[in-house]
Every structure is written in C-alpha cells, then in structure tokens.
Chains A and B, each alone.
Chain A
C-alpha cells in the first residue's frame, strides 16, 4: 500500500566518504518518525559517554510522516544528536522547506556519522550522493556559503544547510542554518563542525503519495478549516503570529513582569515597545514568509533601511531573540537587535544561549568579576553585545570562554557568577522567568535538553488560566505537555500547531497518510515513551536530580515594576520536583524505575542506565 513514509533512510559515513540506503526496521517504525525515530536511533547506535564532538556522534535529520504532504503546519525537520553544550541528548527543529526536500529525495531520514580529515560539503541529489571539497568556503558565513554551494552545483532549487564560523570553531552553542531557518538549540552546529562538514545540499524530485487519499484530504480540509478560523481572528495567538510574527506577544509577557530583563534581574523592560513586532512593522519594510505548505506564515523579514546598519535584511528577530539580545542585555535599539540577530545567523549561533552568555559577561564586568579590558562592558551598550558575539564565534579573548556555554563559563569566572548564569545543564534560558511562572521553571529544570520552553505550560500561566505563582498542580501540567509535545514531534508538527489543532486532527492526518491508527491514549504514551528514552540516555551520561536545577538568581526576588518581589523558593522547587518524579514513575534522583520502563515497553534499556 502507498504511504507517505518511504521506510528508508540515507546513511553517510564521512570518514570513508561512502553512503548507503537502509530500510527501516519494524521496531523503528513503532516510533512513527521525527523525534521518536531520532531518539531511538541515537540511543541504539551511540554508547554512553561517547564524545559529542567525536566520530561516534550522529547527526540525524528526521522527517515525520506528514512532512512534504499537504498537511498544514508540518514543515519542520527534527535533528537529533548528542549535545556538546549540555552532554544530553538533543532534539532541535528548523522550519522552511528542508524536510519536504528530504522526503522528495526519497528518504525519511538522513544520518551522518564519522569524522572527515578534510572539510567537505555533500550533495544529495535524489538517489545519488557526491562529496565536494569545502576548504574554500571556510571564510564564508552561513548565508554566503548557501549561495556559493548552489552556484557551484548549478542547482538553483537545491535546499542547502550550512554552518558558520561558530560551528567551524566548535562553539558549544553553534547552530545549523537551513535557509532563513535555524536548528538553534544545543550546539548541533558544533557537531557538524566536528565532522568537518560545512554544508549539505539536497534536491528531491520524487512525488509523495499517501495511504488513503480520500481520508487524508478530508483530514487536511478539517485541519485547514480549524486553522483558518483561528487566523481570521487577528487577536488570536496564531492570528497575531500570522500578521506580526512571534514578537507580537511581548506586551502580554512584559506587562505581567515576566519578561526577563537585565540578566533576569528584573521582569519588566520599559523599552519593550521599541523592539517588539509592531515597532519593526511600523519603522521598517517588512515581508511575511512561510514554511512549506503553512498557512500561518509567522516568519517576518525586515529590511533595515536606515541607521548604522542600513541595507541589512534579516528574518526576525523572533520573540525569544527580542529577549536574549534585547531586554536581557538592555538593548532598546531595534536596529542593533536586528544586527545582532543577523550576526548570529551569519556566524551560526543560537541566539538564546549566546544572549545568556553575553548577559553573564555584562554582569560579571559590572560586579568586578571580569577585570582588565572586559571590565568596561556594560548593560545597555549594543556595540558591546555585537563585539562579544563576534568574539565568541572567533573564540577570541573572553569570547573563547563564553563559547563553552554560560554554565561552564560562570564556573570558570568564579565568585558568585554561577548564581546568575541563567542556564540549565549549560543551555541558556528561553524568554520566560521561573520566578514568575513556576510551572515553566519546572519545565526548564527537567527538560531533557536543558532550559527548554517548547514543552512548558507557558500559555496557561501567562494567560492567567492558572495562578502562575503557584507551585501546586504544576508537575502534572508539565508532564502532560512534555508527553504531548514529544508525540507531536514524532510527526514533526510545528510547535504552534498545538495551539490550534485538536489531538484527533493529528491522528486523522497520520492515519490518512500512513494507515497507522493510534488512539489518543496511545499517542500520548508514545510521547511518554520517548521522554523516558531521552531520560535513559541522560541518566547513562550521569545526569541526576542535582542537574534538574535552576541557578541561584531564581531563588531571589525579582526587582522592579510589575512583579517586584516574585520569587521561587527552594522548598517550592523541591515540592514540584518530588511530585514530578513521582508522577513520572522515577525515583527521587530522577532515575526511571524499572517498572515504568516495562510499562512503556522499553525495559531493554534498563541496563544502559547502569553502564
């Protein structure tokens, strides 16, 4: 029978410059696709303790069964690898057209392994793979590389993913660029750099079919009608994202004193309206862009046509970057923020962890922890931010230390620095405050990839559906959203799809596309199974309760307007963590118990945790 899955993957060995097409096993198919497939593969193929920047690490680009089809909001690609930033398993996502192109080339997933001696780039042209020298590209930024690779190959429509200087220099939070979209979190760009792989180009010309065209198209129509109804209301979340991008929600966060400001010292940024989406739309020509087959089109490309960086054209900044390189460092210049955003894209760095590392440096300078030339750094000076970003990517001076991640850098800087390095497991905080939103704090602490906002009860807390300051009941909310989003990420549904599509819609689309029929309960259990597999991976790497923790600043009161005095207590955090571990079926150290793994059908992995 037809299916939207090819049931085959392309494996590329960078040492030997060979490639092979592999059939997917039935056991792997149980994980549906996307994140599930990637996590299972990495766990099975990589021994515990292996160097994330060594040849044993894999870069697994994993699509979902709905990628490349007409299903709306399924354009992203999942990337699974071991993070050099955190030492944990990592899954990170980029939108755009890459996933569809992988499917059109005839694969569900691409796996890169080994480590080449010389820099190369790879061209996957349907069934043919070629290796190309990349030494001449090393001085080029990510976006320039994309253009040159396309020209050299003579294939204008190829999708090209690249790393920038940060990836080449193994900056621990280096990103992988996919056109104007980014695999941002966790340092996948450094893994690609460690393999001396500068770029991957891919062209697919095959068509995709689905299991049951009638049922699938009916499910697509249903999903579209729900989404379109939402988009018609300009005050709905997607309606706002569609018109003004993710930065349209800054006001609701800021006015509740929950916008991290000045390295999380404050929760209110008086200049937020100078850098939010409306400020960009008002002052600069703005064009809306969309991912493959997505009616939401939340991407915003801004043309900065005045000021010191006139001529700059950049996608974003997104809301999260408005925090990391805006409020967090007291940068109220929309132009400087656009420049910092563009710099991170060209150098290939995660704006979130870069921003938290920079904010750490600014505060260390202010407190006299950094001496010498660096002591002149100060909040509110956008030029200092731009210089530090360059220094990080080049690994110059203080930048070389910051390139190791905010947690590692803070330990090295010493003094009280670790207390205000806003990170979990060395991964920088996303744009939310644990002191103000307690459930989100628990999500940050327990996230398998560290400091993650993708699986947090942010909406319920920020919209006032639950008391954001309460700790009671938060553990159950966090567990549910973690499991649910993991399940959605097996389909590689956009995170925003969860705002609008009912669970039944995902299941109908999956069944129409592949014939796989799952109940809502089975779908949620799939998410829980994957969450536990990730946890097994991390436990085998030595992660325990002590690592599910927040920096000291979270236990001191917020200063300033709107949320003055809001605080998370250590008792409150322990209460949430105890309840969370209990609900998860983990012991008090956060180790999954054998009975839980057996219940989820993954008891074969119990042994890994004792290695």
Chain B
C-alpha cells in the first residue's frame, strides 16, 4: 500500500524532504512507518525518530494521520491503510503543559 508522508517545520529542515510516498506492507503501523523513514534517511535522523537505544519513538515526535494526532487514535500502534497521509510535526509541548490532565490544573497553550 502507498502512504503519503509529509515533513513539516524542523522535520523538513532535518530530513531535507518535504513530501514523499512510501510503499509499506498491508497492515503496517506507525511503528513500521518510523522504521521506513529511518531507512529512507539512511539513519541520519535516527536520534530524532527514536528515544536512545530503547527503540521507542522519540519524545519530539508528533504524527498526524489524515489530520488527526496519533494520540487521538491508537498511538504508534495505529494501523495505516492505503492512501493515508501522515505528517511529521514538532510537538511544541513542554514545561507546564506536562501537568495537563494531572487533575490539579488545566495548563493550556495559546499563541
């Protein structure tokens, strides 16, 4: 199946790719997509994609599948289908946002 992959903001700068199409096996998940992107970029973005040696997706990733953040789907286990569009965007999260949902207070961003 074919998946359209788009790199925005800092990801565009780091991968030097704006948009590309990847051929993935049926049933592939976002984990598989990360591996494909790692291979595509010849490992040059490995530390961006993964959290150290643990094989976990890096903390600075936010993937948007057809306009919906992966966190609102099944996370990195989200299964992709033919024709899906996945965008790599910077998470822009940090600081006090981390306490969001902690119950004590709702910390929210605005620009």
Name the contact of A457 in the complex, choosing from B67, B95, B106, B111 (C-beta under 8 A).
B106
Closest to A227 in B: B95
Stretch at the interface among B21-29, B30-38, B58-66: B58-66
Closest chain B residue to A319 by CB distance? Answer: B111
Contact A230 B92 (CB under 8 A): no
Q: Looking across the interface, which residue of chain A has its beta carbon closest to that of B90?
A: A235
Selected contact of A453 from candidates B8, B67, B111, CB within 8 Å: B111
Q: A463-B69, A562-B66 are in contact. Are A236 and B8 (CB under 8 A)?
A: no
Beyond A255-B8, A256-B68, A480-B106, is A460–B96 a contact (Cβ under 8 Å)? no
Given A240-B90, A251-B8, A255-B67, are A501 and B108 neighbors across the interface (CB < 8 Å)?
Answer: no
Residue of B whose beta carbon sits closest to that of A495: B110
- Interchain CA distance A459-B89 in the complex, whole Å: 14
- Any chain A CB within 8 A of the CB of B1? no
Bound Cα distance A453, B109 (Å): 10
Return the contact of A562 from the options B8, B10, B11, B67 (Cβ within 8 A).
Answer: B67
| Selected interface stretch from A242-250, A330-338, A375-383 | A242-250
The total of interchain contacts (Cβ-Cβ below 8 angstroms) comes to 155
Specify the chain A residue showing the minimal Cβ separation from B92: A237
CB of A126 closer than 8 Å to a CB of B = no
How many residues does chain B have at the interface if contact means C-beta atoms less than 8 Å apart?
37
Nearest-neighbor residue (CB-CB) of B68 within chain A: A256
Nearest A residue to B109 via CB reads A459
How many chain A residues touch the partner (CB < 8 A)?
A: 58
CB contacts (< 8 Å) of B105 on chain A: these are 480, 503
Contacts of B111 in A (CB 8 A): 246, 249, 319-320, 431, 453, 458, 495-496
Q: Tell me whether A499 is interfacial, beta carbon within 8 Å.
A: yes
Nearest residue, chain B, Cβ from A272 = B8
Q: Is the CB of A251 within 8 A of B89?
A: yes
Contacts A252-B9, A254-B8, A499-B96 hold; do A477 and B110 have CB atoms under 8 A apart? no
| A454 lies within 8 A of chain B by Cβ | yes
Let me know if B94 and A234 touch, CB within 8 A.
no
Q: Are A255 and B89 in contact (CB under 8 A)?
A: yes
Is B12 in the interface zone, CB < 8 Å from A? Answer: yes
A-B contact pairs, 29 of them (CB 8 A): A233-B94, A235-B90, A236-B93, A237-B94, A240-B9, A240-B90, A249-B111, A251-B87, A252-B8, A252-B62, A255-B87, A256-B67, A268-B67, A273-B12, A277-B9, A453-B110, A458-B109, A459-B92, A459-B93, A463-B62, A463-B92, A464-B72, A465-B100, A480-B105, A495-B111, A498-B109, A500-B95, A502-B96, A503-B105
Question: Known contacts A235-B92, A255-B64, A255-B87; can you find 18 more A-B pairs with CB under 8 A?
Answer: A233-B60, A233-B94, A235-B90, A235-B91, A249-B9, A256-B64, A256-B69, A457-B108, A458-B108, A459-B97, A463-B62, A463-B91, A464-B71, A498-B109, A501-B95, A501-B96, A502-B96, A562-B67
> Which residue numbers of B lie inside 8 Å of A, CB to CB?
6, 8-13, 18, 59-60, 62, 64, 66-69, 71-72, 87, 89-97, 100-101, 105-111
